[in-house]
Amino acid sequence: MNKIFSNLSELRRCKRDNVLALLPCLSRYVKRLAIPAALVLTACMPPSVAQIDKPSASIPADPAAYWHDDETGIRPQQIAAASRPQGGSLIDTKITYDLPALVDLALHANPETRVSWEEAKAAAARLERNRSAWYPTLTAMAFGQYFKTSFPIPGGALVSHGYSSYGGLDLAWTLFDFGRREATVNAGVQRLSAANFSFNRKHQEIAYGVATSFFAYQAALSRVTAAQQTLEAANAGTASVKAKFDKGLATRPDLLLAIQEQAKASYDLQDARSSAIQLHADLTASLGISPSYSLQLIDLSKLPLPAGLVQSVEKIVDQALEQRPDLLARLAELRAREAEVNKARAEFWPKISLDGKLGNQYWGDVHTHPPGNESYSASNLVGTAMLTVEWTLFDGFERSNAVREAEARKEASRAQLEALRLEIMRDIWKAYADTKTALEKREFALALLKAAEESYAATQESYIHGFSTVIELLSAQKDLARARYTEIDSRAALLRSAATLVYASGEQGQGDRNTDSEKFGLSVP
């Protein structure tokens, strides 16, 4: 304390006429008091404060950039801007889009990616705010006033009036808080990681939505093609029956049945076209663009199909539990809740702070009455320095209840983590079984289509030579149409189930936007 009082005496000797002249004196004053405190504070600085030197640099640089954890040593990979057309439009009508190109387009155009990106940026800013508690605050203050005071004295009152002003600096610095700031920063670090993992999962959600919409739309286009082929076959059948009817070799009911089947084929074609229009709207919605855009898309038959499952479901589950971004985000949230418990417990301990004020007090044109009408002016350097210990001894059990609340939230987060883990396991088992079933159904669908084509060709030739009836011809025609739809549905179901397995495993990253799924437990021809 003697050292502090000697510093204050020195400050009072450093009088100046204005606030700007205080800076050299303030520098010496701060050096004597703040530097020792800074050394002590640095010695007590927790390692967690330096976990992320620049939080704003740890978030994805672009809404379409897949984020990687810094601990893995991998930096975010930026999608090449040169691959996008210029002129402010993300859509190039001159190219044929495959699935990776559609996902790339969606990650740039879909506003949901920007929402999750901005949330990650907000988490980084919150972490910066939490870290600011480790630094001192320096506040500049200034005011001026006109005053008139009266003090009673024997025989009257002593009245003084005049002008005064004050300008100075206020320094406040928390030296020790026994873990409060460290816990707050740790919670911010974990929530920034959670926001980044959620950003990655949003990428996967959008990629999965685009893939399923793309497969559904391409299947609808294939159904339109199949319906056109069925209509052409119905037209040929009707023409064949009419030719026989004109020669007296077929009855009128036979002709009416052929015309009926022709009308049904026309209706199915229009229905398939209507379904394709609706699914095109769904696809553009998942891409984040207007349905008015007409994109050139790769044909469904050109997409490679998985040939088999090369990994066991247990291995895929283990991989998913290690890498699913939403599970990692939930784990980061649990760690943040644990940090909040530590902060609530730290509230039971005191806080040690350093406060200092330094300024210039000026009085001008001060008059007193009585005696006389003399006036005077004065300018003095004023300052204080305090080491404050603040310790709440009793608060009505508020801190105890805060600890219980934080612990309950932590346990709830732990339960949510376990619930998500079980949900992931269930989703993978279901997607694995669906993919396995789809692979088997695909083989049967191909065999069915081949048999239906051969049966229709044989029946048609037999009918031309008069060995088969119209009913047999129309029945073979219906069987062929159903076989075509079955083959289309089996292809789309296999692609959709494979995409679901990829999405459930959580491995769909920056370089995995295609149907080649070898690393997800699937093999391709």
Higher pLDDT: 515 or 478? It is: 478
Q: What are the backbone angles phi and psi of residue 14, rounded to the nearest 5°?
A: -90, 60
Higher pLDDT: 156 or 471? It is: 471
The two tokens of residue 505 are 């495993």
Answer yes or no: is pLDDT of 49 > 60: no
User: Which of 80-84, 442-446, 505-509 has the weakest average pLDDT?
Assistant: 80-84
| Dist CA 174 CA 163 (whole Å) | 36
Answer yes or no: is pLDDT of 100 > 60: yes
Q: So what's the pLDDT on residue 198?
A: 93
- Provide CB contacts within 8 A for 60, sequence distance 6+: 66, 67, 76, 117, 120, 196, 199
Higher pLDDT: 79 or 416? It is: 416
Tell the CATH superfamily of the 44-135+177-350+391-523 domain: Outer membrane efflux proteins (OEP) (1.20.1600.10)
Q: So what's the pLDDT on residue 215?
A: 93
Q: Which of 184, 468, 144 is nearest to 344 (CA)?
A: 184
Split at pLDDT 50, 70, 90, the class of 371 is low
Q: Which of 210, 195, 211, 207 is nearest to 67 (CA)?
A: 195
In the predicted model, what is the mean pLDDT of residues 8-36? 36
Q: So what's the pLDDT on residue 460?
A: 87
Q: So what's the pLDDT on residue 1?
A: 38
Answer yes or no: is pLDDT of 27 > 60: no
Element holding 441 (H helix, E strand)? helix 398-464
User: In this predicted model, what pLDDT tens digit does every residue of 146-203 receive, in sequence order?
Assistant: 888 888 877 777 788 888 999 999 999 999 999 999 999 999 999 999 999 999 999 9
Q: So what's the pLDDT on residue 139?
A: 94
Contact predicate 148/366, CB 8 Å: no
Higher pLDDT: 78 or 249? It is: 249
User: In this predicted model, what pLDDT tens digit does every residue of 259-272 receive, in sequence order?
Assistant: 998 999 999 999 99
- Provide CB contacts within 8 A for 433, sequence distance 6+: none
| Dist CA 2 CA 283 (whole Å) | 77
Domain boundaries, the chain: 1-36+138-176+351-390, 44-135+177-350+391-523
User: In this predicted model, what pLDDT tens digit does every residue of 329-345 receive, in sequence order?
Assistant: 999 999 999 999 999 99
What angle is formed at CA 344 by the lines to CA 338 and CA 346, rounded to 5 degrees?
Answer: 105
Query: How many percent of the chain have pLDDT more than 90?
Result: 54
